Amino acid sequence: MNRRPGNGWFRILFLLAMIVMIVVVAVGIGIYRSRTVVLELALYSGNSWGVPQNFAYAIYDRAVELFEQRYADKGYRVVLRTGTMYKDYSEWFAQLVLKGKEPDMFLILEEDFNTYAAIGLLERLDTYIENSDLSPAEFFSNALEAGQYQGSQYSLPMGIVPSFLIVNNDLLDSLGLSLDLDNWTWEQFYNLCEQLTADIDGDGVPDRFGVEGYDWHHAFYTNDTSLFNETSTKAGFNPERFAEMLQFFKRLHALNQGVLIRDGMFEEGKVGFKTFNLSEYRVYGSYPYRILRYDTFDWEAIPFPSGPHGRSKSKLYTVQLGMSSRSRHKDVAFEFLKFISSDEEFQYQIWEHTNMLPVNCSAFNAIYDSGIMQRDSLRPLDRRFIESVMENSYIDPDFKKYPVIDDYITQRIFTIIAQDEDIPKGVSSLHQLINELLEDEYSVRTLTR
Amino acid sequence: MVRYDMEKPLGYIYHIILLLNLAIVTLFSLVMYQTTYLVCEADQARVFLEQARYLPHIPWHVPVYAITSFLLLAVSGYVKSRLDESQFVLTFLIFLADIAITFFIAYNLNFSYKGLFLFLGVGAFFFISYLPLRYLAIALVMLGYIFTDYDIISVQLNLVSLQDYIGFYSPSTQIPLYSIRSTLESLNLVMVILFFQFLIQSKIRENKEFIKVNNELSDKLYQLEILQVKLEESARLKERNRLAHEIHDILGHSLTSISTGLEACIELSRVGSQELHRRLMKIRSVTNKGLTEIRRSVRELKSDAIAKSSLLNAVQEMINDANALGDRSVSFVIIGNAIAIDEDEEKTVYRLVQESLTNSFKHSRSTDITVTFNYSNHQLMVIIADNGVGCETIRKQFGLEHIEEQIAILGGSVHFESAPNCGFRTYATIPLRTGGMNQ
């Protein structure tokens, strides 16, 4: 078939020329767009520890301002995407991801972190960190750990909120009870709670209680280290310790005789202990909020009591920022993440504009050294106490199915206690359940949360 | 080119498969696009991402990339059909690009559709004429077909299957979607099978035509060979005839003159020297013998003359020659309508008569020989009878045996009758190929 080959070649050449033109135009547009770097940052108002925050975006405005100043020569710009409440953020952000319109950088909810790292939405930061002057030693290590998934860094922390217990000193004093923090164990804690729990109005149900907000996680982490093995493929807890925890938790639970402790009972002076975090402490422990709450009695922060095989541990809340693997300006985005998490000037501002602590150690030191805490007429918060709380904190396991499995464990523990099951048997069945859930992808996938 | 003129149905099916795949790719990609927005409207985005095992494609990328890539495949098909068969390397390179494009489309559709590789396979048969490259292409396509299976890929890549997307619709939408999907996919499969059915048929037809042409060619060749042999034969005959004439005219004439002269010399010498007479008698005997030999030679040389003249004339001439020798009489009888018979038949009959006469002359001491040709429907009977001494037993010599064989080849038979002092008879029956009495 020799149909004038010259003509055919001409056509092919024409096609090639067209393709080359299209490529040139595309590359041109790409270069133009990469010159003017405009980063987007998705934010929520509110936080995971449920403490109101005035001017929620003020800190981010400040960050943008400082960042743009610092890179004024490069002309980087950062645009904030605001207006979403904390509770709506997960779905709102997921929709952006599905539509492919997620911003370059975004705040990550704790419950979303594992999923987004697992599906590849979050850009892996390891190589960026290696190529930068960012030093992991400058961070509180637990804060950095919270942004790791399977050994890789996927997000950088901005601020942290450690948690602890608070105690109503007046209530304990009035009952002639005292704390021995040198021997601060479950046993002492249980005894105090037992003595605190009482039916004052004589209606047959207790109306004064030991502790508010204490759940099995608090007990578990003060007696064991990890729920899962290192690779998160199997349950990794010690069954005896878990049984001890359940036993203790069951006893503690039994004190209340089935009465649920309402939110705010501690504030009314009817509860001896309450789980608390720094953010709450900051809000209610300083002017003006301290007038609204917790002002009728004397209270102070104490660590969690330790189990027979563990030591005092508490959950560390962090605010994590990550960047999209589909961002067009990943290098600049990383610069911003790095700036947010390690720039000393900005990190210092975190104390000014939020109820968090900075993740950067030198900024933390600067805050303590500057006497700024006293300026805010904050209740005294011992530096050594807060440092030891942060050091002895845990972060939630970092795999995709964890939130679902956590729900299962909570439900199972509740049934073991409520139905008075044999504890060792219950623990081994729970062990098995966790392994099955970890193995069987589908049962977890289909569970709607 | 072959693929364009004789494979028209194949071309139609190829284009049907092309359109079918375009429809499937369009449907799948639009479903994926549309579902994403449906999921968002239903506030199920977070749950969907939890179920997704991989970051889903950006919605508008899916139809745009998939359909554009598919159109690219169509263009590449057009380009390949325009390429000369000798540019098979270029065709193959374009085909490799096709495989890459197909992978890209499959990736955009989350490997939920692999029928595209069937389409590529059809293309390999359609466009790549150089067999080793075609087989390589088909092997690659087969690998692609096997490994783009969602169930295999998803183990490694964690993709959201089309099923997951369709799963988000209400059952009343799911059922038509699933049925359209499976109908289109089955139709695609049916078309591919049909393509190969037609391909096989066209190959068989091609083969048959080839065999037919081949047969015709070998027929022609055979005829040419025969013609060649005939030409040679004719040249040989001509030369023999010339030789025979020359021997007969020159040598025969001279010997006859010598013989006549010798007769006179003998008459003269009868009165003279006894010795001279005896010698002359000896010379005459030698001369006569020579004359006989020459006549025989000429006769044999001329035997092939029958090719030119008819059999009857040739036999008549042979009988005349025999009669010319003088001491015996040979008669020729023809019964029935003499017809022209084939050359090989003529030759055999002539040889039969010749051999029989020679035998009679040599052995029978007969005075009367009768040669009879009896033509009947599709058959010629030849009888040669003499009144010689005959013999008790017939000893077949080489000549007779040869004649028998020749007649047997023609499908005829021969037999001999003889008894002491009752002469010798040869009966031969030869079936005739050409016609009967009416011819």
Say if residue A128's pLDDT is above 90: yes
Cβ atoms of residues A122 and A114 within 8 Å: no
d(CA A229, CA A218): 19
Residue B279: the pLDDT is: 84
pLDDT in single tens digits along all 439 residues of chain B: 344 444 678 888 899 999 999 999 999 999 989 989 988 998 888 888 877 777 888 899 999 999 999 999 999 988 888 888 888 888 899 999 999 999 999 888 888 888 899 999 988 888 888 889 889 999 999 988 888 776 676 666 666 778 878 888 888 888 999 999 999 999 999 999 999 998 898 889 989 999 999 999 999 999 999 999 889 988 888 887 788 778 777 887 788 888 888 888 888 877 777 888 888 888 888 888 888 888 777 777 665 544 445 788 888 888 887 787 767 788 888 888 877 787 778 888 888 888 888 888 777 778 888 999 888 888 889 999 888 888 777 776 666 777 788 888 888 888 888 888 888 888 999 888 765 444 3
Residue B353: the pLDDT is: 87
**What DSSP character marks residue A306?**
B
Distance of CA B399 to the CA centre of its chain: 39
B178 to chain A nearest CA, in Å?
Answer: 21
pLDDT band with cut points at 50, 70 and 90 for residue A34:
low
Question: Angle CA(B26)–CA(B32)–CA(B38) in degrees, nearest 5?
Answer: 130
Nearest to A115 by CA among B251, B52, B58, B343: B52
- Picking from A18-27, A267-276, B43-52, which range would have the lowest pLDDT averaged per residue? B43-52
Average pLDDT over residues A416-427: 91
d(CA B98, CA B80): 11
Structure tokens at A162: 């450690």
Chain A residues inside the 8 Å CB shell of B55: 97, 119-121, 325-326
- The reply to whether domains A35-162+317-387 and A163-315+397-446 share a CATH topology is yes
3-state secondary structure A195-245: HHCECCCCCCCCCEEEEECCCHHHHHHCCCCCCECCCCCCECCCHHHHHHH
pLDDT per residue as tens digits for the range B413-436: 888 888 888 888 889 998 887 654
Residue located via tokens 């000798």: B86
Residue located via tokens 């499976």: B182
pLDDT per residue as tens digits for the range A157-175: 999 999 999 999 999 999 9
Helix (H, G, I), strand (E, B) or coil at B349: helix
Name the closest residue on chain A to residue B35, using Cα atoms. Answer: A98
Q: Which class for A343: exposed (0-12), middle (13-18), buried (19 or more C-beta within 10 A)?
A: middle
d(CA A12, CA A221): 70
Residue B309: the pLDDT is: 54
d(CA A147, CA A102): 19
- Picking from A96-110, A389-403, B155-169, which range would have the lowest pLDDT averaged per residue? B155-169
- Picking from A66-70, A381-385, B54-58, B150-154, which range would have the lowest pLDDT averaged per residue? B150-154
Nearest to A330 by CA among A194, A150, A131: A131
Structure tokens at A307: 């189990």
Residue A157: the pLDDT is: 93
Say if residue A321's pLDDT is above 90: yes
Q: Which residues contact B248 (CB under 8 A, 6 or more apart)?
A: B294, B295, B298
- CB-CB: which of A99, A121, A400 is closest to B59? A99
Say if residue A179's pLDDT is above 50: yes
Q: Are residues A99 and B36, on separate chains, in Cβ contact within 8 Å?
A: yes
Say if residue A443's pLDDT is above 50: no
The residue with greater pLDDT, A362 or B305, is A362
Average pLDDT over residues A98-111: 91
Task: Select B310-439's CATH number: 3.40.80.10, 3.30.565.10, 3.90.1150.10, 3.40.109.10.
Answer: 3.30.565.10
| Structural element, H or E, at residue A160 | strand A156-168
Average pLDDT over residues A215-234: 89
- CB-CB: which of B1, B4, B40 is closest to A99? B40
Average pLDDT over residues A359-377: 80
Name the β-bridge partners of B242: none
- CB-CB: which of B4, B43, B52 is closest to A91? B43
Helix (H, G, I), strand (E, B) or coil at B373: strand
Residue A428: the pLDDT is: 93
Return the domain boundaries, chain A: 35-162+317-387, 163-315+397-446
Among A4, A7, A95, the strongest candidate for a mutation testing the B interface, having the largest count of B CBs within 10 A, is A95
Name the closest residue on chain B to residue A90, using Cα atoms. Answer: B46
Say if residue A448's pLDDT is above 60: no
Cis peptide before A288 (omega within 30 of 0): yes
A91 to chain B nearest CA, in Å?
Answer: 5
Global pTM reads 0.67
Q: Are residues A94 and B45, on separate chains, in Cβ contact within 8 Å?
A: yes
In CATH terms, is domain A163-315+397-446 a member of 3.40.50.2300?
A: no
Q: Are residues A449 and B50, on separate chains, in Cβ contact within 8 Å?
A: yes
In CATH terms, is domain A35-162+317-387 a member of 3.40.190.10?
A: yes
**In Å, what is the CA distance from A242 to each residue of A147, A211, A223, A226, A236?**
27, 21, 8, 11, 11
Per-residue exposure over A362-386, b if at least 16 CB sit within 10 Å of its own CB, e if not? ebbebbeeeeebeeeeebebeeebb
Residue located via tokens 């003006």: A288
Give the mean pLDDT of chain A: 86
Average pLDDT over residues A42-69: 86
Residue B157: the pLDDT is: 63
The residue with greater pLDDT, A327 or B345, is A327
Residue A103: the pLDDT is: 94
**In Å, what is the CA distance from B237 to each residue of B230, B243, B298?**
10, 10, 13
